[in-house]
C-alpha cells in the first residue's frame, strides 16, 4: 500500500487553474505571472515536485525574455534558459541513476521519453559554449510541452491519459553468453586469468547496468518519473522485479543448467549442481549478491515457483519429459541457500523456512498439478536433512494417501459416517460406556447430552445436525 503524499495544492482545481494560466495563451504574460506567483507561494509552504520546480524556472526565463528588449541582456537570458533546462534534465535523470555503475544520461532520458536533443543541449550548456538564444527558446517551448503531456495531464486526468510506454529492454542473453565464454577460457587455462579478467569485469558491469535499466523500466511502466520523493518508497519492489527478470534469464537452458544433458552430471551422495557449472557462474552470482542483498532469495524463490508450476497443456503428441533440467535447478536452489550461510545466518534461516513452507504448500495433498514434482520433493527432503521434526513432517506429507480417497461411495459409508457423528456428539464422560446409537439423536432426553457444550450459547434456535446440513424451520 502506497502511503499518502503531501501536495502543495488544496484541491485538484487549483492545479487545473495553474495549468490553464500556463498553457491557455502563450502570449498572455499576466497569466504566466499569476502562475509564477502561485508556484512561489506553494514553494514557501512545502517542497515542490521536480516538475513544478522546473516549470517555475522555465516560466521565469520566458517572462524575463518577453519583458526585456535590450540586446545587452541576451547573455543573461541565455544563462537563465540554460540553467532551467539543465535543472529539468538533471532532476529527471539523477533519481533514476540506479545501480553500482553509472549509466549515461542519454540512455536514461531515452527510457523516460525525453527528447534526445534536449540532453545534447544540456551537455553543451554544461561543458561547452552556451547555445544560441533562439535554440534555447525552442528548447524551453519543447520542455514546457513535454511537462504538459508527462506531468500536468496525467496528474489532472490520470484515467484519460494512457500509461507511459517504457523503451523495450535490450536482451540479456548476449551478455550472459559472453560471460560464459570468457569464464570457460579462464577455467580451462588458469594462466589466462589476468589477461581476460578486465573483459569479465566489463561484462559484470554490463549485467549490473542491465538491472538498472530494468529498474528504470519498472518506474516508467508504473508512471513514476521521480516527480516526488514520496513516490520512490517502493523502489525495492521495482528492483526485485528487475532481479526476477535476470533470474529467469539465468534459469534458461544454457546458463545455470548446461545445454547438454551429458554435462548435467550430478555428484553422488550430495544434492549439489554440476561442479563445472558452479565454477562458471559462481563469480557472477557472488557479484550480484554483493550488490543486491536480495538476489539469492529471489533466485531460490523463482526456482521453487518454476518447480511447482503446472506444466503447460499442449495439443500435441506428448514427448518424454526432461527431468534433469528441474533436478539441476533444484540443486541450484539448495546451493544458493547454503553457500552464503555464514554471511547472514538470520536472513538465510528465514529464506530456508520460506522455501520449505512454499514447497510443503505446493506439494500438499490438496494441490492438483500436472508437473512432475520429483525435483521439488527431492529439494524439500534435502532442505530438511538433519532436522528430526522436519524429517517426520516431510515423511507424513509424502506418505501415500489411503482410505476413501480415489474410490466410489458405497451404502456402508453412510453408516460409518453416522457412527462417527454419534461418537463426536456423545458426552465425553459417558462416551466410554454408552453405545454408539445413531437413533439416539432423535430422543429428547438424550439430545441435550449429545450437544456440544459451547453450542448451547446459541439458544433454542440451534439444533444438532450433521456437518454440512442446513435445517430449514
Helices and strands (H and E) in the chain: how many: 19, 0
Region of residue 265 (phi > 0: left; psi between -120 and 50: alpha; otherwise: beta):
beta
pLDDT at 449: 47
- How far apart, in whole angstroms, are the C-alpha atoms of residue 44 and residue 48? 9
For 421, 424, 426, the CA distances from 429, given in Å and listed in that order, are 16, 12, 8
DSSP string, 10-25: SSHHHHHHHHHHHHS-
- How far apart, in whole angstroms, are the C-alpha atoms of residue 454 and residue 445? 19
Gap between the terminal Cα atoms of the chain: 46
pLDDT at 39: 93
pLDDT at 144: 93
Tens digits of residue pLDDT in 186-238: 999 888 889 999 999 999 999 998 888 888 887 666 555 545 444 444 567 78
Mean pLDDT (the chain) is 78
pLDDT at 432: 45
pLDDT at 20: 92
Please list, residue by residue across 294-329, b when 16 or more beta carbons sit within 10 angstroms of its beta carbon and e when fewer do.
ebbbbbbbbbbebbbeeeeeeeeeeeeeeebbbbbb
- How far apart, in whole angstroms, are the C-alpha atoms of residue 313 and residue 311? 6
Q: Give the 3-state secondary structure percentages of the chain, helix then strand then coil, rounded to 5.
A: 65, 0, 35
pLDDT at 435: 46
| Domain-wise residue ranges, the chain | 12-156, 173-397, 414-461
- How far apart, in whole angstroms, are the C-alpha atoms of residue 223 and residue 164? 6
pLDDT at 370: 61
- How far apart, in whole angstroms, are the C-alpha atoms of residue 473 and residue 471? 6
Taking only the tens of pLDDT, the chain with its 473 residues reads: 455 677 888 888 999 999 999 998 888 888 999 999 999 999 998 888 889 999 999 999 998 888 775 555 778 888 999 999 999 998 888 887 777 777 788 888 887 888 888 889 998 888 888 888 899 999 999 999 999 988 888 888 877 666 556 567 788 999 999 999 999 999 998 888 899 999 999 999 999 988 888 888 876 665 555 454 444 445 677 888 889 999 999 999 989 999 888 888 887 778 889 888 999 999 999 999 888 888 888 999 999 999 888 765 554 555 556 788 889 999 999 999 887 654 554 454 578 888 888 888 888 765 555 667 888 888 888 888 877 777 777 777 666 655 545 556 777 878 888 888 888 787 554 444 444 444 444 445 444 544 455 555 556 666 667 776 665 65
Amino acid at each position: 500500500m502506497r502511503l499518502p503524499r503531501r501536495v502543495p495544492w488544496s484541491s485538484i482545481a487549483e492545479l487545473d487553474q495553474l495549468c490553464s494560466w500556463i498553457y491557455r495563451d502563450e502570449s498572455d504574460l499576466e497569466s504566466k505571472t499569476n502562475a509564477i506567483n502561485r508556484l512561489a507561494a506553494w514553494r514557501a509552504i512545502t517542497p515542490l515536485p521536480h516538475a513544478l520546480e522546473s516549470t517555475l524556472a522555465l516560466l521565469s526565463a520566458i517572462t524575463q525574455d518577453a519583458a526585456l528588449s535590450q540586446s545587452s541582456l541576451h547573455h543573461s537570458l541565455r544563462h537563465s534558459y540554460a540553467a532551467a533546462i539543465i535543472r529539468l534534465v538533471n532532476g529527471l535523470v539523477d533519481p533514476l541513476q540506479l545501480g553500482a555503475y553509472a549509466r549515461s544520461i542519454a540512455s536514461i532520458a531515452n527510457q523516460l521519453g525525453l527528447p534526445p536533443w534536449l540532453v545534447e543541449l544540456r551537455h553543451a550548456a554544461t561543458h561547452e559554449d552556451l547555445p544560441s538564444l533562439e535554440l534555447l527558446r525552442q528548447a524551453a517551448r519543447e520542455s514546457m510541452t513535454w511537462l504538459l503531456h508527462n506531468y500536468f495531464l496525467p496528474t489532472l486526468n490520470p484515467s484519460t491519459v494512457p500509461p507511459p510506454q517504457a523503451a523495450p529492454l535490450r536482451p540479456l542473453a548476449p551478455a550472459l553468453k559472453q560471460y560464459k565464454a570468457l569464464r570457460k577460457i579462464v577455467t580451462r587455462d588458469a594462466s589466462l586469468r589476468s589477461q581476460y579478467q578486465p573483459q569479465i569485469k566489463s561484462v559484470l558491469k554490463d549485467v549490473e547496468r542491465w538491472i538498472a535499466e530494468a529498474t528504470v523500466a519498472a518506474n516508467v511502466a508504473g508512471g513514476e518519473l521521480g516527480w516526488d520523493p514520496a513516490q520512490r518508497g517502493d523502489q525495492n519492489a521495482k528492483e526485485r522485479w528487475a532481479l526476477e527478470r535476470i533470474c529467469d534469464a539465468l534459469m534458461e537452458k544454457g546458463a545455470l543448467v548446461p545445454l547438454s544433458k551429458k554435462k548435467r552430471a550430478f555428484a553422488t551422495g550430495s544434492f549439489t549442481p554440476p561442479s563445472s557449472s558452479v565454477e562458471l557462474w559462481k563469480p557472477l552470482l557472488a557479484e550480484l549478491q554483493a550488490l543486491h542483498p536480495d538476489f539469492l532469495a529471489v533466485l531460490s524463490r523463482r526456482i521453487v515457483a518454476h518447480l511447482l508450476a503446472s506444466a503447460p497443456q499442449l495439443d500435441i503428441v506428448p514427448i518424454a519429459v526432461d527431468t534433469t533440467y528441474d533436478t539441476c535447478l533444484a540443486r541450484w536452489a539448495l546451493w544458493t541457500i547454503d553457500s552464503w550461510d555464514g554471511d547472514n545466518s538470520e536472513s538465510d534461516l528465514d529464506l530456508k523456512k520460506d522455501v520449505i513452507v512454499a514447497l510443503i504448500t505446493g506439494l500438499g495433498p490438496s494441490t492438483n498439478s500436472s508437473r512432475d514434482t520429483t525435483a521439488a520433493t527431492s529439494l524439500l527432503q534435502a532442505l530438511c536433512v538433519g532436522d528430526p521434526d522436519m524429517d517426520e513432517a516431510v515423511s507424513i506429507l509424502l506418505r501415500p494417501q489411503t482410505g476413501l480417497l480415489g474410490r466410489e461411495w458405497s451404502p456402508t459409508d453412510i453408516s460409518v459416517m453416522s457412527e462417527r457423528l454419534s461418537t463426536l456428539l456423545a458426552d465425553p464422560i459417558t462416551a466410554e460406556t454408552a453405545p454408539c446409537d445413531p437413533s439416539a439423536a432423535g430422543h429428547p432426553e438424550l439430545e441435550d447430552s449429545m450437544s456440544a457444550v459451547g453450542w448451547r450459547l446459541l439458544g433454542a434456535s440451534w439444533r444438532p445436525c450433521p456437518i454440512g446440513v442446513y435445517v430449514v424451520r
